[in-house]
Structure 1
Amino acid sequence: MSGNFTITGVDEVISKLENKFSSRKLDQIERQALKMGATYAKYQLKYAVESYRDTGATVREVTAGKPRKKAGHLSVKVGWEGGKSRWRLVHLNEWGYTRNGRTYSPRGLGVVQKAFSGMKDEIKNTQVEYLKRMVDL
């Protein structure tokens, strides 16, 4: 379970960075900005899933991947990875489930989506501020 969003409106910052740095250095800067956003998202997600914590495995398995370039675009995945396969339970907690014709709404119903919706702007602002700092070096 991972989310996608696009940062728009920073074209002039990127063009200034392209003028100031080589393409290799610019790639490093963009990756660092993505890492900062992913780390923030990881900790916010850990805080959000604390609401239905039992053994703590769901919280411990929240991970932020490395920035990867796919089809010319950099992206990073934030989700669950580990030996206990908590992503399966997170899906049930997030959306609920039906058993024997009865619908169950667990404590964590919608927690991940709510956390993601709340942190999108903050992640964007964190990344934009980092890129602006790099322009002003």
Structure 2
Amino acid sequence: MSVEIEGTHQMLRKIGEKYGEAKMLKAQDKALRNGANYFTSVLKDNFEIFKDTGASIGEITVTEPYFIHGNTRMVKVHWEGSQNRYAIIHINEWGSVRKPNPRGKGAIARTMFMTETPYREVVKDTLEEEL
């Protein structure tokens, strides 16, 4: 599950030429963090529907921006913590044989769909603001 923002490659190339790689990387990182913060806030709201102990909400974690495949910058939203909620997130999202339709079924997919356009706007606005 990822979001591809079209047209940013040319914009980032022009920004890199004008401001330099270090400033561009800093702006990209800030935009990615802001976008991830927006996404996780909506995800937490969607997880409130089926909250029991709150551990699934509390263990939502965002990595620092990093490179994949040498030239693509990204952040990862995942579950990490002492209660090991990462192990049951898949069951909450897709169901199981015993309980094919849990209360929170599809919460992550709904969040991805709901936040796709606003996420792009957050990233775009942050890049414009920074540069």
Same fold (TM over 0.5): yes
2:43 aligned residue (42, 45, 48) = 45
* Matches of 1:126 and 1:88, distance apart in 2: 30
| Residue 12 of structure 1, CA deviation | 4.3
- TM-score, length of structure 2 as denominator length: 0.91
C-alpha contact 2:94 2:100 (8 A) present in aligned 1? no
> Which string of whole-angstrom CA distances, capped at 9 and with x for unpartnered residues, describes residues 46-86 of structure 1?
11111110011111001111100121210100121111111
Aligned equivalent of 2:121? 125
Taking only the aligned residue pairs, the percentage that are identical comes to 29
Alignment RMSD (CA, Å): 1.4
Aligned equivalent of 1:59? 57
C-alpha contact 2:40 2:60 (8 A) present in aligned 1? yes
Structural mapping, 1:106-125, within 5 Å: 106-125=102-121
Larger Rg: 1
Aligned equivalent of 1:88? 87
- TM-score, length of structure 1 as denominator length: 0.87
* Matches of 2:68 and 2:107, distance apart in 1: 29
* Matches of 1:45 and 1:21, distance apart in 2: 34
Equivalent position amino acid for 1:128 in 2 = K
* Matches of 2:57 and 2:80, distance apart in 1: 11
Which blocks of at least 5 consecutive residues in structure 2 are unaligned?
A: none
- Which is further off, 30-39 or 14-23? 14-23
Provide closer, same or farther for how the CA distance between residues 13 and 134 of structure 1 changes in structure 2, counting only shifts above 3 A.
farther
Equivalent position amino acid for 1:15 in 2 = R
